[in-house]
């Protein structure tokens, strides 16, 4: 008799469609993997305001929500947007004691996380549009710009080139980036209980992905 797998539930708020498509793909990959010890259910919503996301949840038990967000540049307008997100995450703790908000940021963008599934990407960029070169190399594509890459059909075609092994590799590459930042003496900034590097590249989205893989007995 085949043992029935239990299902782990995870909560997310994301800022765009690409993050949502990625989570849908990852959920399907895990749930269709015979080697996975558990199944997963991702409760996700495109919502740039973490406080609104917290208010929308009808829950009574304690839950952990991960907000996937970008540190888009060191320009004042983007830094302000970034810190306002952290403000709202901190506010959500006061709103409902059973909610803990965690932060899965990418500096500059979630595209860095996508690249890491296939190759290292440790060089600093001056603009988000420069990710198109490593994206094309990683996925053997020839997109003209990031908008073309993020078109639903194109993005999902790239996802279909990935495996769970690639996800594990992305986690390891992301951790290596953060270790290098620490060795280089970069300051891990602290703001209302959340930490981040202002330097590019850096990212923390790998933390929740690694947690999911561990709890599903995939690593």
Which are the contacts of 42, defined by CB distance < 8 A and separation ≥ 6?
9, 10, 11, 12, 23, 24, 26, 27
Closest C-alpha to 213, from 179, 165, 156, 159: 165
Task: Quote the distance between the C-alpha of residue 115 and its chain's center.
Answer: 12
How much is the pLDDT for 73? Answer: 65
Q: How far apart are CA 71 and CA 88, in angstroms?
A: 16
How much is the pLDDT for 96? Answer: 65
How much is the pLDDT for 116? Answer: 97
Task: Quote the distance between the C-alpha of residue 37 and its chain's center.
Answer: 22
Three-state SS at 201:
coil
How much is the pLDDT for 212? Answer: 97
- Report the run of H or E that residue 12 belongs to, with start and end: strand 7-14
Which are the contacts of 105, defined by CB distance < 8 A and separation ≥ 6?
68, 69, 70, 71, 82, 196, 203, 204, 205
Q: How far apart are CA 52 and CA 91, in angstroms?
A: 10
How much is the pLDDT for 208? Answer: 96
How much is the pLDDT for 191? Answer: 85
Q: How would you write the pLDDT of the chain (219 residues) with one tens digit per residue?
A: 557 889 999 999 998 999 999 999 999 999 999 999 999 999 999 998 888 988 888 777 888 999 998 887 667 777 788 888 888 888 887 776 678 889 999 988 999 999 999 999 998 888 888 999 999 999 999 999 999 999 999 999 999 999 999 999 999 999 999 999 999 999 998 888 888 888 889 999 999 999 999 999 999
Q: How far apart are CA 191 and CA 32, in angstroms?
A: 39
């Amino acid at each position: 008799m085949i043992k029935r797998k239990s299902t782990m539930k995870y909560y997310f708020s994301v800022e765009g469609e690409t993050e949502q498509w990625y989570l849908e793909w990852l959920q399907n990959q895990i749930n269709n993997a015979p080697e996975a010890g558990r199944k997963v259910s991702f409760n996700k919503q495109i919502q740039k305001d973490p406080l609104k996301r917290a208010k929308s949840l009808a829950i009574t038990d304690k839950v952990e929500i991960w907000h996937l967000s970008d540190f888009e540049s060191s320009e004042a307008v983007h830094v302000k947007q970034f810190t306002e997100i952290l403000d709202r995450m901190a506010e959500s703790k006061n709103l409902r004691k059973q909610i803990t908000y965690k932060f899965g940021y990418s500096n500059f963008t979630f595209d860095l996380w996508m690249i890491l599934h296939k190759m290292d990407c440790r060089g600093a960029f001056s603009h988000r549009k420069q990710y198109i070169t490593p994206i094309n190399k990683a996925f053997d594509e020839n997109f003209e710009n990031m908008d073309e890459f993020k078109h639903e059909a194109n993005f999902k075609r790239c996802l279909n080139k990935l495996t769970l092994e690639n996800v594990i590799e992305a986690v390891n590459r992301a951790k290596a980036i953060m270790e290098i930042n620490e060795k280089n003496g970069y300051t891990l900034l602290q703001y209302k209980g959340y930490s981040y590097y202002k330097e590019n590249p850096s990212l923390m989205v790998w933390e929740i992905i690694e947690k999911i893989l561990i709890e599903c007995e995939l690593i």
